Structure 1
């Protein structure tokens, strides 16, 4: 299986469990690993046969900036669902880091889901 990688995507969003976390946007760092098949793109050299990572980046940033969740886990669920609904990927590994959540460490989450686990059909 082939993978498209988007690493260190910086986005600012309002997220957090505590009231003070909703006073202003906080930075998040996102890594995406998207399972796909490069076979057609190997020979065609056509963007239509590949995942458009610029478009994926744009949509993920917009989704995050517009969200107002309490938990990184909930945001992760929204991102994974959006990717499966919008792009022909087979699986998603998503890491979200919240660098200002702790004073002496970087907190974050890591999740992996397949299209089958999420019960989402390929987009038309």
Structure 2
């Protein structure tokens, strides 16, 4: 299995359980590990046969900037659904860090899902 990694993606999002967390966007740091198959790209050298990580980055960043959720878990679910719906990946591992959530530590969540677990067909 091949992987595309997008690490340390900095985004700002309005997210949090407390009302003061919805007054302005907060920083989040996102890591994505996307399972795919590089076999065709190995020989074609064509972007159409690979995952366009610049486009994935752009779409995930936009999704985060436009979202308004209370929980990181909900945001994670939206990101997972989005990448499965829009890109030909087999599985995704997602880590979201919220560096300002705690005074003396960095809060984070991590999830791993397969396409089968989510019940989302490959995009056409």
Normalised TM-score (structure 1) = 1.00
Give 2:10's aligned residue. Answer: 10
- SS of equivalent to 1:27: strand
Give 2:20's aligned residue. Answer: 20
Tell me the CA shift for residue 19 of structure 1: 0.4
> How well do the aligned residues superpose, as a CA RMSD in angstroms?
0.2
Gaps of 5+ in 2: none
User: Whole-Å Cα distance in 2 between the matches of residues 80 and 114 of structure 1?
Assistant: 9
The answer to whether residue 81 in structure 2 is matched with residue 81 in structure 1 is yes
Alignment deviations for residues 14-57 of structure 1 (CA, whole Å, 9 cap, x no partner): 00000000000000000000000000000100000000000000
Q: How many pairs were matched up? A: 124
- SS of equivalent to 1:12: strand
Alignment deviations for residues 3-22 of structure 1 (CA, whole Å, 9 cap, x no partner): 00000000001000000000
User: Whole-Å Cα distance in 2 between the matches of residues 25 and 59 of structure 1?
Assistant: 18
Instruction: Give the 4+ runs in structure 1 shifted more than 6 A.
Output: none
The answer to whether residue 46 in structure 2 is matched with residue 46 in structure 1 is yes
- SS of equivalent to 1:14: strand
User: Whole-Å Cα distance in 2 between the matches of residues 68 and 108 of structure 1?
Assistant: 18
Matches within 5 A, 1:44-123: 44-123=44-123
User: Whole-Å Cα distance in 1 between the matches of residues 122 and 60 of structure 2?
Assistant: 18
User: Whole-Å Cα distance in 2 between the matches of residues 75 and 62 of structure 1?
Assistant: 12
Tell me the CA shift for residue 110 of structure 1: 0.4
User: Whole-Å Cα distance in 1 between the matches of residues 14 and 67 of structure 2?
Assistant: 7
